[in-house]
């Protein structure tokens, strides 16, 4: 059943919305505004109208709104467990990665102007390297609403920025433009600790923590927020920060058997049916009403940015069974329910079936442009060990958890043949290079960066009512051989005791869901 879109766009990822709800039938998400107008909206207003009264526990809702409105900006609201929940470590180097970057050199080498289409080539795209952005055009099919990313121009697995040197935000900022960590000149290993521990980086991490709690804030700049905000609005090439350009909805992927899988009481009372549904269902899924052209930005997979340690803790917590409140919805597969916690009623994942924590990996493209060693290595804060050599291929991870606070992107299921691709993107959060010419330094420059956002783009043309899916492994699993596929990283998905079968149904389905080995 389709209803008229009841809520404004919640997809931009600027809104750190709580999603303690469960749709009775299906929920529509749409942007009533052209993207360029969307950034001017009152996002707090969106929040208020977004939370469906009928589903969300009223007390919780009032509390959440009150916290968002007060000066504290919802610090308590976003705290979801231990106090460490708000300790953000990002870009944690992984010492367990030894695979080489399968995407190295897979970009485009054309020389293009912003707004012009790009060609494919077998080296990194010169236009991206030069302009420090991906550029876009409006798509006539969607009345100019959809902004198209030229995927051929995209050096895969590289963080990108959402602006151009022509953009006012660039001119107003002293940030050094960069689209990719791979293009940065690197520090030597001995300078690495300084880069990650640099006071400004620490401040930045703290600020990021606050940003993740703020609703209605468009600026992420720590130099001149107001200036940056104005510049953001002016930038014609933004796609991720401009919000949704197509109408999305969510619904259960379970076969319709005349029994609503959403009703906790029913599924509890019909264990056999529930089990059947669960075996055939991937829970809720994200669908589109509209045709989406290849390359269009679709939605951000938005959530709290958390440390790996916190992700591990939450993973354990989410696996614990919780109560299903009478009258509130609960899906046998995804099982989001309203339960009590020390913060009062809040959403929780109530069985072992679901995992929303996304690990975004950024590959270092070693010395591709500069002949330098790429991004510096650093001691692994988790193991205390020194990570792999600065010369070795490396992946940097960002843990995104939308379980408690996120957006509709959390309903995008996994497929081994997905129609979306996840790209790390920084919106007004550029990598900044610091010159260090002190006598003790062995290098000139070191880098400091904010965590990227997981932006989902259409990997191919998508038809109306198609389900939107992406590869949770970020394409990594497809690169691995069979022995690794069924290895440690996969098998820990369900309670660390066995793999979760993949139900994507794709002809080339790998059979198992990916699960990050660090969890």
Ligand X SMILES: C[S@@+](CC[C@H](N)C(=O)[O-])C[C@H]1O[C@@H](n2cnc3c(N)ncnc32)[C@H](O)[C@@H]1O
Q: Which residues form the interface with ligand X (CB under 6 A)?
A: 282-284, 331, 333-334, 353-356, 410-411, 413-415, 502-504, 513
Q: How far apart are CA 496 and CA 124, in angstroms?
A: 39
Q: Tokens 């010369």 — which residue?
A: 391
To ligand X, the closest distance from the beta carbon of 410 in angstroms equals 5
Q: Closer CB to ligand X, residue 295 or residue 406?
A: 406
Q: Closer CB to ligand X, residue 119 or residue 259?
A: 259
Contacts 24+ apart (CB under 8 A), 56-62: 56/20, 56/21, 56/338, 57/20, 57/325, 57/328, 57/338, 57/345, 59/344, 59/345, 60/20, 60/338, 60/344, 60/345, 60/346
To ligand X, the closest distance from the beta carbon of 333 in angstroms equals 6
To ligand X, the closest distance from the beta carbon of 402 in angstroms equals 7
To ligand X, the closest distance from the beta carbon of 351 in angstroms equals 9
Contacts of 99 (CB under 8 A, 6+ apart): 393, 476, 479, 480
To ligand X, the closest distance from the beta carbon of 439 in angstroms equals 51
Sign of CA dihedral 310, 315, 317, 322: positive
To ligand X, the closest distance from the beta carbon of 184 in angstroms equals 31
To ligand X, the closest distance from the beta carbon of 436 in angstroms equals 41
Q: Closer CB to ligand X, residue 145 or residue 468?
A: 468
CA 247 to chain centre: 19
To ligand X, the closest distance from the beta carbon of 414 in angstroms equals 4
Q: Closer CB to ligand X, residue 369 or residue 414?
A: 414
To ligand X, the closest distance from the beta carbon of 457 in angstroms equals 17
To ligand X, the closest distance from the beta carbon of 347 in angstroms equals 11
Q: Closer CB to ligand X, residue 35 or residue 332?
A: 332
Contacts of 258 (CB under 8 A, 6+ apart): none
Q: Closer CB to ligand X, residue 480 or residue 502?
A: 502
Q: Collapsing DSSP states into helix, strand and coil, what is residue 328?
A: coil
Q: Closer CB to ligand X, residue 91 or residue 315?
A: 315
Q: Closer CB to ligand X, residue 324 or residue 502?
A: 502
Q: Closer CB to ligand X, residue 19 or residue 163?
A: 19
Q: Closer CB to ligand X, residue 237 or residue 354?
A: 354
Run of H or E residues at 231:
helix 225-234
Backbone φ, ψ for residue 495 (5° rounding): 50, 25
Instruction: Tell me whether residue 326 is exposed, middle or buried, using C-beta atoms within 10 angstroms of its C-beta: 0 to 12, 13 to 18, 19 or more.
Output: exposed
Q: Closer CB to ligand X, residue 196 or residue 315?
A: 315
DSSP string, 22-53: --SS-EEE--SS-HHHHTTS-HHHHHHHHS-T
Instruction: Tell me whether residue 131 is exposed, middle or buried, using C-beta atoms within 10 angstroms of its C-beta: 0 to 12, 13 to 18, 19 or more.
Output: buried
To ligand X, the closest distance from the beta carbon of 513 in angstroms equals 6
Q: How far apart are CA 10 and CA 43, in angstroms?
A: 9
To ligand X, the closest distance from the beta carbon of 40 in angstroms equals 30
Number of Cα atoms under 13 Å in the Cβ half of residue 444: 4
| Distances, alpha carbon 422 to alpha carbons 66, 116, 500, in Å | 34, 23, 21
Given a contact cutoff of 8 angstroms between Cβ atoms, the answer to whether 448 and 200 are in contact is yes
- DSSP-assigned beta bridge partners for residue 445: 435
Q: Closer CB to ligand X, residue 251 or residue 372?
A: 251
Nearest Cα residue to 517 out of 432, 407, 414, 395: 395
């Amino acid at each position: 059943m389709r209803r008229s879109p009841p809520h404004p766009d919640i997809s931009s990822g600027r809104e750190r919305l709580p999603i303690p709800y469960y749709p009775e039938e299906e929920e529509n998400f749409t942007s009533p505004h052209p993207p360029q107008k969307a950034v001017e909206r009152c996002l707090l207003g969106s929040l208020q109208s977004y939370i469906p009264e009928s589903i969300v526990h009223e007390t919780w809702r009032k509390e959440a709104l009150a916290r968002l409105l007060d000066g504290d900006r919802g610090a308590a609201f976003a705290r979801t467990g231990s106090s460490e929940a708000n300790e953000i470590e990002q870009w944690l180097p992984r010492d367990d990665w030894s695979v080489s970057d399968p995407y190295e050199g897979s970009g485009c080498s054309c020389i293009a102007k912003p707004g012009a289409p790009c060609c494919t080539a077998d080296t990194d795209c010169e236009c991206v390297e030069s302009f420090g952005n991906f550029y876009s055009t409006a798509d006539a099919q969607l009345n100019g609403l959809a902004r198209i990313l030229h995927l051929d121009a995209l050096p895969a697995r590289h963080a990108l920025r959402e602006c151009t040197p022509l953009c006012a935000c660039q001119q107003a900022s002293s940030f050094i433009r960069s689209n990719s960590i791979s293009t940065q000149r690197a520090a030597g290993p001995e300078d690495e600790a300084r880069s990650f521990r640099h006071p400004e980086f620490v401040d930045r991490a703290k600020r990021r923590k606050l940003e993740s709690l703020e609703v209605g804030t468009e600026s992420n700049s720590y130099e001149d927020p107001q200036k940056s905000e104005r510049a953001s609005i002016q930038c014609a090439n933004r796609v991720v920060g401009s919000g949704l350009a197509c109408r999305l909805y969510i619904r259960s992927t379970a076969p319709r058997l005349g029994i609503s899988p959403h009703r906790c009481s029913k599924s509890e009372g019909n264990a056999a049916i529930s089990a059947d549904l669960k075996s055939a269902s991937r829970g809720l899924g994200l669908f589109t009403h509209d045709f989406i052209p290849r390359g269009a930005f679709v939605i951000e997979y938005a959530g709290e940015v958390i440390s790996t340690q916190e992700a591990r803790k939450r993973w354990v917590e989410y696996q614990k069974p919780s109560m299903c409140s009478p009258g509130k919805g609960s899906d046998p597969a995804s099982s989001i329910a309203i339960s009590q916690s020390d913060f009062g009623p809040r959403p929780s994942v109530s069985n072992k079936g679901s995992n929303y924590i996304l690990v975004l990996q950024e590959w270092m493209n070693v010395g591709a442009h500069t002949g330098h060693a790429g991004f510096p290595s650093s001691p692994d804060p988790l193991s205390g060990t020194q990570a792999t050599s600065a010369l070795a291929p490396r992946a940097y991870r960002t843990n995104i958890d939308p379980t408690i606070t996120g957006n509709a992107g959390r309903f995008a299921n996994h497929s081994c043949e997905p129609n979306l691709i996840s790209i790390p993107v920084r919106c007004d959060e550029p990598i900044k290079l610091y010159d260090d010419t002190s006598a003790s330094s062995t290098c000139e420059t070191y880098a400091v960066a904010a965590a990227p956002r997981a932006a989902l783009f259409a990997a191919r043309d998508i038809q109306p009512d198609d389900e939107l899916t992406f590869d949770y492994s970020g394409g990594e699993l497809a690169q691995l051989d069979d022995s690794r596929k069924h290895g440690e990283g996969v098998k820990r998905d369900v309670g660390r005791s066995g793999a979760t079968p993949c139900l994507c149904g794709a002809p080339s389905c790998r059979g198992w869901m990916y699960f990050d080995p660090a969890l």
